Amino acid sequence: MPLILDGNRVRDQILSELKPRVEALAAGGRPPGLAVILAGHNPASEIYVRGKIKACHHLGIYSESLTLPETITTDELLAAVDQLNGRGDIDGILVQLPLPPQVDARRILLAVAPEKDVDGFHPCNVGRLATGLPGPRACTPAGILQLLMRYGIAIAGKRAVVVGRSDIVGKPVALLLLHENATVTVCHSKTPDLAAVCREADILVAAIGRAAMITGDFIRSGATVIDVGMNRLDRREDVARIFRNSPEKLAALEMRGSVLVGDVDPIAMAEKASAYTPVPGGVGPLTIAMLMANTVESAERRAGIC
């Protein structure tokens, strides 16, 4: 039986470890503070922001969400970020993406003070990651490393293949694996014979955004597979094909109108991998946990504790 890397369990562990640190900060003067900026009304973003605020409440982290109009300009948003940069009670600033199209997202992300950049997206922090200096790491990649380490999956000396080279998942996870002494290959849409490259992996990370694209012939028997993808299927034929006519999945589609699937064929993954992350319940829960960890670390650094 393959080992299922349970993201909910690891998330709960991480949050319970953070709780006394939050309490110590609160007892020392004030709790950590996180500000989340949301511009416009994107239903998915609203759900993510609610999840982040809920996690803050659970831990005792002070949080506020700033909901700005869809019509906001780059300058107005820059002013909002600047105001938060100057606030003593705010340790972390998160700008929920995507931003409305008229806003220059690059300028906004650059404007967040690097010491409050709890997403780890600022070039200063990307540079710190690249050079192995301490600093906030992008949350989803950091969560993947936590999952591997807490389940005792060996990384040093292993062959890791990352499919996807985005700034928020593919590149940072490749760097984190490299720092842990894996031999890392990063693949993308122009990689020839992707399946053959993936079959070399002891640790295969799929961060592509294409439902069940990684099929059984991409997976080496006994590999660890980390499926980062979150794709919604709303067509019956796709659900039937990918989940091999699973009555539970078809019933879930009827009830909810869509079914979540990763970038890896879930049935092939369960058959061939020695350990894997399910979707949902694998990588997803770690993203918010690591956001909380980055916020607590930022508060500790600013309080001179670490």
By beta carbon distance, the residue nearest ligand NDP is 166
Residues 55/288, Cβ–Cβ less than 8 Å? yes
The residue among 74 and 166 lying less far from ligand NDP, judged by its C-beta, is 166
**Rg for the chain, CA atoms, rounded:** 20
Q: How far apart are CB 11 and ligand NDP at their closest, in Å? A: 11
245: left (phi over 0), alpha (psi -120 to 50) or beta: left
The residue among 33 and 122 lying less far from ligand NDP, judged by its C-beta, is 122
**Residues 95, 99, 168, 299: which binds ligand NDP (CB under 6 A)?**
168
Does 231 bind ligand NDP (CB under 6 A)? Our answer is yes
Q: How far apart are CB 236 and ligand NDP at their closest, in Å? A: 21
Does 170 bind ligand NDP (CB under 6 A)? Our answer is yes
Length of the chain counted residue by residue: 306
The residue among 60 and 209 lying less far from ligand NDP, judged by its C-beta, is 209
Residues 177-216, one symbol each (x = binds ligand NDP by CB under 6 A, - = not), give ----------xxxxx--x------------xxxx------
The Cα 210–Cα 214 span in angstroms is 9
Does 287 bind ligand NDP (CB under 6 A)? Our answer is yes
Q: How far apart are CB 296 and ligand NDP at their closest, in Å? A: 19
The residue among 56 and 147 lying less far from ligand NDP, judged by its C-beta, is 147
Q: How far apart are CB 228 and ligand NDP at their closest, in Å? A: 4
Bridge partners of residue 95, in order along the sequence: 37
- Compute φ and ψ for 205, nearest 5 degrees: -115, 125
The Cα 46–Cα 41 span in angstroms is 7
Characterize 135-161 residue by residue with b for buried, 16 or more Cβ atoms within 10 angstroms of its Cβ, and e for exposed: bbbbbbbbbbbbbbeebebebeebebb
Q: How far apart are CB 192 and ligand NDP at their closest, in Å? A: 10
Stretch touching ligand NDP by CB under 6 A, among 12-20, 30-38, 154-162, 163-171: 163-171
Percent of the chain that is helix, strand, coil (3-state, to 5): 45, 15, 40
Q: How far apart are CB 273 and ligand NDP at their closest, in Å? A: 17
Evaluate the omega torsion of the peptide bond into residue 172 and state whether it is cis, within 30 degrees of 0: no
The Cα 182–Cα 41 span in angstroms is 41
Catalytic (active-site) positions: 52, 96, 119
The residue among 72 and 175 lying less far from ligand NDP, judged by its C-beta, is 175
Q: Parallel, antiparallel, or unpaired for β 33-39 and 62-68? A: parallel
Own/partner contacts of 194-202, CB < 8 Å, gap of 24 or more, are 194/163, 194/218, 197/161, 198/161, 198/163, 200/159, 200/161, 201/159, 201/160, 201/161, 202/158, 202/159, 202/160
- Compute φ and ψ for 158, nearest 5 degrees: -90, 160
Q: How far apart are CB 9 and ligand NDP at their closest, in Å? A: 16
Q: Identity (one letter) of the amino acid at 113?
A: A
Residues that contact ligand NDP, how many (by CB under 6 A)? 25
The Cα 3–Cα 92 span in angstroms is 35
Does 283 bind ligand NDP (CB under 6 A)? Our answer is yes
Stretch touching ligand NDP by CB under 6 A, among 104-112, 126-134, 228-236, 241-249: 228-236
Residues 117-156, one symbol each (x = binds ligand NDP by CB under 6 A, - = not), give -----------------------x----------------
Contact set with ligand NDP (CB under 6 A): 140, 163-166, 168-170, 187-191, 194, 207-210, 228-231, 283-284, 287
